[in-house]
């Protein structure tokens, strides 16, 4: 999804079919409100979620939506699917339009799924420069050795993509459970990393994205809107690395 940003003068000139001089006049007369506050700067940027009013008439009022959903197994991380239930199908009726999924989970993976209509936010979550950590609780079929911890931290070469994975953290919890922290999200990445060492992933549960944790009160299939703090927390780079 593209987020559209333009300068206020261009936005008003396009929407009202008036020239830039008349736009300046509107502002000087205090007739324009952005996000319910009087606007006075023609260079101010307006994006698709800025609430814009002129003489009390609303020109734009789309609101950004951010939803956390506890993904159950057996659900596709997609907005449409002809065979299986999708994350969108799990939302209560009347959910906002135009949602997309910010960071997919595999069909049988569970845990923190995020949906939004704000493309800038979801791109921020997956941007390689942002270093946003995704933490997974993984159940494996056999014990994990310290050599694997080192191998994950050094990165593994994926021949298909011709790349080496970024340093990943691996915390051994017990013989069959580990936490993995990735700063990227490649196709089946966790399963492929363990598969390289003949270890099978039996279940995979996303605990957090950035500093945003899955709400423990949400049962599988349940969802709720994020608070403003949580929207920012998801984009906040890292926890100190330790077993938590």
Which parts of this chain interact with ligand URA (CB under 6 A)? Answer: 105-106, 109, 188-191, 204
Nearer to ligand URA, 88 or 204 (CB): 204
How many alpha carbons lie under 13 Å from residue 23 in its C-beta half-sphere?
A: 21
Nearer to ligand URA, 189 or 223 (CB): 189
Measured CA to CA, the distance from residue 216 to residue 138 in angstroms comes to: 17
Q: How far is the CB of 217 from ligand URA (least distance, A)?
A: 23
Of the listed 106, 215, 222, 228, which one is catalytic? 106
Measured CA to CA, the distance from residue 121 to residue 1 in angstroms comes to: 10
Nearer to ligand URA, 120 or 191 (CB): 191
- 106 annotated active-site: yes
Measured CA to CA, the distance from residue 100 to residue 116 in angstroms comes to: 6
Q: How far is the CB of 224 from ligand URA (least distance, A)?
A: 21
Q: What is the DSSP string of 33-99?
A: EETTEE---TT-EEETT--EEETTEEEE-----EEEEEEPSS-BSSS--SSS-BHHHHSPTTPPSS-
Nearer to ligand URA, 190 or 226 (CB): 190
Q: How far is the CB of 7 from ligand URA (least distance, A)?
A: 40
Helix (H, G, I), strand (E, B) or coil at 150: helix
Q: How far is the CB of 139 from ligand URA (least distance, A)?
A: 13
Partners of 174 in the β-ladder: 177
Catalytic residue positions, numbered: 106
């Amino acid at each position: 999804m593209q987020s559209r940003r333009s300068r206020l003068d261009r936005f008003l000139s396009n929407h009202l079919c008036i020239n830039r001089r008349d736009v300046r006049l509107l502002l000087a007369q205090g007739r324009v409100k952005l996000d319910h506050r009087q606007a006075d700067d023609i260079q101010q940027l307006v994006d698709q979620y800025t609430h814009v009013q002129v003489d009390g008439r609303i020109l734009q009022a789309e609101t950004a939506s951010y939803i956390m959903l506890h993904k159950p197994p057996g659900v596709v991380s997609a907005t449409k699917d002809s065979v299986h239930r999708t994350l969108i199908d799990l939302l209560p009726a009347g959910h906002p339009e135009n949602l997309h999924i910010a960071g997919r989970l595999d069909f049988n993976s569970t845990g923190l799924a995020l949906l939004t209509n704000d493309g800038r936010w979801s791109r921020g979550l997956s941007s390689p420069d942002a270093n946003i950590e995704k933490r997974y609780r993984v159940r494996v079929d056999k014990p994990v050795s310290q050599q694997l911890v080192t191998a994950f931290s050094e990165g593994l070469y994926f021949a298909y993509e011709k790349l080496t994975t970024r340093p990943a953290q691996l915390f051994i919890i017990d013989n069959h459970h580990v936490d993995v922290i990735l700063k990227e999200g490649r196709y089946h990445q966790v399963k492929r990393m363990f598969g390289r060492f003949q270890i099978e992933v039996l279940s995979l549960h996303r605990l957090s994205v950035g500093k945003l944790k899955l709400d423990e009160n949400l049962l599988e299939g349940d969802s709720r809107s994020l608070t403003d703090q949580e929207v920012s927390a998801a984009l906040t780079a890292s926890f100190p690395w330790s077993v938590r």
